[in-house]
Structure 1
Amino acid sequence: MFQTIRVNNHRLDVVFSGKLDSASMKVALDEMIQQAHGITDGAMLVKVGEFELPTLGAMGVEMSRLPQLFRFIRQFDRVAVVAGQTWVRKMSTVEGALIPGLNLQAFALDETAEAEAWLAR
């Protein structure tokens, strides 16, 4: 399951769980990019349910769209990742550290209120 919700002109929420294959990755990326159109200095809340590593095909789709994804992520100053799985939080933190200018913080599922507060700062 994958859902993107544009909360307002500065906030995007992304909710997903399960496994992404190449077709669902394409739809997910298209939806995120479309919903984020026009956002600047934005904040994004990413809620991750039970998540499996994407298929190789999904990773290929993601890699083929890196220029678009870099433009997409530059629209955001802050990203809060809320996930129950420790490895997802750790991977998110590592990815966030690799993207200049992005402030990413990972939170456990029971810290959703803290994630919301951090994004609102």
Structure 2
Amino acid sequence: MLTITKPSDNRVDIELRGSLDADMMRKGLEDLLSMSEGVTNGTMLYTIPEFALPTLEALGVELTMLPKMFGLLGKYDKCAVLTDAGWIRTAAEVEGALMPGLTIKAFPLDGTAAAEAWLAA
């Protein structure tokens, strides 16, 4: 399941739980694109309580939407990732180091307060 919400004008929250099929991936990415319209200097809270690899079809959907997803890079300044999977936290911070203009910081799943404080700072 990929759930996207917009708690404020310049913030989106993403929750990824379990494996995604093509329909879930398409809807989630379309929601993210739609909710990102008009966002400037935005923040993102990405929560991953349980991770499973998406289906091959879901990865195909993601690849076809990749050009549109690159358009989001200039809209967000910070992304906090909440997960207990250490390898995902490491991968998220490496990804942040490779993306100009976007700072990604990872926190354990029970670090919501710290992540919220970092996003607000």
State the TM-score, normalized to the length of structure 2.
0.93
Instruction: Give the 3-state SS of the residue equivalent to 1:74 in structure 2.
Output: helix
Runs of 4+ aligned residues of structure 1 deviating over 3 Å after TM superposition are none
Say whether 1:57 aligns with 2:57.
yes
Deviation of 1:74 (Å)? 2.0
Cα distance per residue 1:15-36 (max 9 Å; x no partner): 1201012221111100111111
Q: How many aligned residue pairs are there?
A: 121
Q: How does 1:64-103 map to 2 (within 5 A)?
A: 64-103=64-103
Distance in 2 separating the partners of 1:20 and 1:87? 19
2:2–2:25 CA contact under 8 A, matched in 1: no
Instruction: Give the 3-state SS of the residue equivalent to 1:92 in structure 2.
Output: helix
Alignment match, 1:35: 35
Deviation of 1:12 (Å)? 0.9
What amino acid does structure 2 have at the position aligned with 1:56? L
Instruction: Give the 3-state SS of the residue equivalent to 1:53 in structure 2.
Output: coil
What amino acid does structure 2 have at the position aligned with 1:50? E
Say whether 1:8 aligns with 2:14.
no
Deviation of 1:103 (Å)? 0.5
What amino acid does structure 2 have at the position aligned with 1:106? A
Instruction: Give the 3-state SS of the residue equivalent to 2:72 in structure 1.
Output: helix
Task: Tell me the percent identity.
Answer: 42
Distance in 1 separating the partners of 2:101 and 2:29? 21
State the TM-score, normalized to the length of structure 1.
0.93
Distance in 2 separating the partners of 1:21 and 1:90? 25
Which consecutive unaligned segments of at least 5 residues does structure 2 have? none
Deviation of 1:39 (Å)? 0.6
Deviation of 1:85 (Å)? 1.3
Distance in 2 separating the partners of 1:57 and 1:92? 23
Which consecutive unaligned segments of at least 5 residues does structure 1 have? none
Deviation of 1:2 (Å)? 2.1
